[in-house]
Amino acid sequence: MSTVYDNEEYLSMIELYRSFSADKPAFSKFLDFTIVSPDFDHPHLIVNMRSDLAGNANHNSLHTGVIASILDIIGGHAVFMSVFKQMRGQSAENKFKRVSKIGSIDLRVDYLSPGTGTSFSASASILRIGNKVAVVRMELHNNKDILIALGTGSYTVG
Amino acid sequence: MTSVFDDKEFDDLVNYFMQIDSQQPSFSSFLDLSIDSPDFDTPVLGLKMRDNLVGNLVYRTLHGGIIASVLDALGGHAVFLKVFQQVKGEPLEKQVKRTVKIGSIDLRIDYLRPGTGNSFVASGTILRTGNKVAVTRMELHNEEDKLIAVGTGTYTVG
């Protein structure tokens, strides 16, 4: 089975990003998610439950801010992969310059069930991508496949 | 200057939750927001810029997920202050039992500017509280008083 990680062009871009961000702490490093997208059209990431991702009143479930963050990230990742597809063949520097401009415009989250579970899986699909703005739908499921939250986001395409 | 912390009863309730959190740090400990509310009708939370809150490493701006988390926290804090006023005078256990039921139902964020700055202030108002659900409006400004994001949230009242 092929994944985005079999794609050399993708890997060289990720490598460029890693070397740039290596010694720089960022929020995404704190969340410590793993991207498991099977291909460029199915953005997918996994986060494991940790106590420092929990809400303070209820230590068994994800903080709602973390849920919003994960949905914001998988939506941005969907745009990232879509922009990457459009820019295939261009230099890694060019792609890096373009994708660093991807940013959130708005985000709407509906919390459907408490964020309980041992791991969580976020996926997204792009509803529309233009030259300037993309609109994405996001979902968060737990390890028992219960739908925890739904999101809709818009992003600048860069 | 007076603040909500001049109220001994409120102080006790907040300390109760802080103590749980110090035993097992949650995402709230990570966010490390300061409660700067001058009174019970004016919810204000403060956030200092840190490396691990950064989203875009190129522009060094707040992560969209952090902005969402802070506004979510502010809406929850607004409802917390409101519910506290209702249960004031009752025993601590009753106040705890009621306030732990406050939870997010949905959240909508509009990102207006990149989250640049050294410190940020979240403020907001309750648009409506019923017996079950409260609706809040939230804003995030930086130290130069630039409006970075606005939000609308719905919360269970407990």
Tens digit of pLDDT for each residue in A73-129? 999 999 999 999 999 889 888 888 899 899 999 999 999 999 999 999 999 999 999
Q: What integer is the mean pLDDT of A37-54?
A: 93
pLDDT digits (tens, 9 = 90+) for B120-139: 999 999 999 999 999 999 99
Of the two residues A113 and A12, the one the predictor is more confident about is: A113
In chain B, what residues touch A64 (CB-CB under 8 Å)? 72, 76, 103-104, 107
| Residue range B33-61, pLDDT digits in tens | 999 999 999 999 999 999 999 999 888 99
Q: What is the pLDDT of residue A10?
A: 86
What is the per-residue pLDDT for A60? 85
Tokens of A35: 């991207």
Sequence-distant contacts of B93-96: CB under 8 A, at least 24 apart: B95/B13, B96/B13, B96/B16, B96/B17
CB B22 within 8 A of CB B32: no
Please answer yes or no on whether B65 and A68 come within 8 Å at the CB atom: yes
Tell me what pLDDT residue B1 has.
44
A16 vs A8, A95, B102, B133, CA distance in Å?
Answer: 12, 10, 44, 47
The pLDDT of B151-157, averaged and rounded, is 96
Predicted local distance difference test score (pLDDT) of residue A2: 52
In which band, very low, low, confident or very high, does the pLDDT at A144 lie, cut at 50, 70 and 90?
very high
Residue A19: is its pLDDT beyond 80?
yes
Residues B94-117: what's their mean pLDDT?
95
The residue with greater pLDDT, A6 or A71, is A71
Q: CA geometry: angle at A131 spanning A127 and A133, to 5°?
A: 50
Chain B residues whose beta carbon lies within 8 Å of the beta carbon of residue A68: 65, 68-69, 72, 107, 109
A58 interfacial to chain B (CB closer than 8 Å): yes
B127 vs B134: CA distance, rounded Å? 8
Contacts of B73 (CB under 8 A, 6+ apart): A65, B28, B31, B33, B45, B122
Task: Identify which of A28, A65, A110 has the shortest CB distance to residue B69.
Answer: A65
Nearest CB partner across the interface for A73, out of B61, B65, B103: B65
- Among A26, A65, A108, beta carbon nearest to B54: A26
Q: What's the rounded mean pLDDT across residues A66-79?
A: 97
- Do residue A104 and residue B107 have CB atoms under 8 angstroms apart? no
> What is the per-residue pLDDT for B2?
54
* pLDDT of res. A1: 41
Asked if B57 reaches chain A (Cβ–Cβ under 8 Å), the answer is: yes
Is residue A3 very low, low, confident or very high in pLDDT (cuts 50, 70, 90)? low
A124 phi, psi to nearest 5 deg: -150, 155
* Arithmetic mean of pLDDT over chain B: 94
Band of residue B22 on the pLDDT scale cut at 50, 70, 90:
confident
